[in-house]
Amino acid sequence: MQRQLQKHYSITAEDSGSIERVIYESAVRMVNEILMP
């Protein structure tokens, strides 16, 4: 599931620019910390 999300969001981030990429990367980091403390 996470791999699919990363694939989808990396494509989206390339299309829409660096601000959304930064937001996405910080969100991924938070999720990773929640799932794997």
Give the start-to-end residue ranges of the domains of the chain.
2-35
Q: Which two three-digit tokens encode residue 11?
A: 């494509």
Which comes out higher in pLDDT, residue 22 or 5? 22
Q: How far apart are CA 18 and CA 20, in angstroms?
A: 5
Position 27 scores a pLDDT of 92
Position 18 scores a pLDDT of 75
Amino acid identity at 21 = R
Q: How far apart are CA 32 and CA 37, in angstroms?
A: 8
**What is the rounded end-to-end Cα distance, in angstroms, of the chain?**
19
Position 5 scores a pLDDT of 61
Q: Which two three-digit tokens encode residue 7?
A: 């694939």
Q: How far apart are CA 14 and CA 31, in angstroms?
A: 21
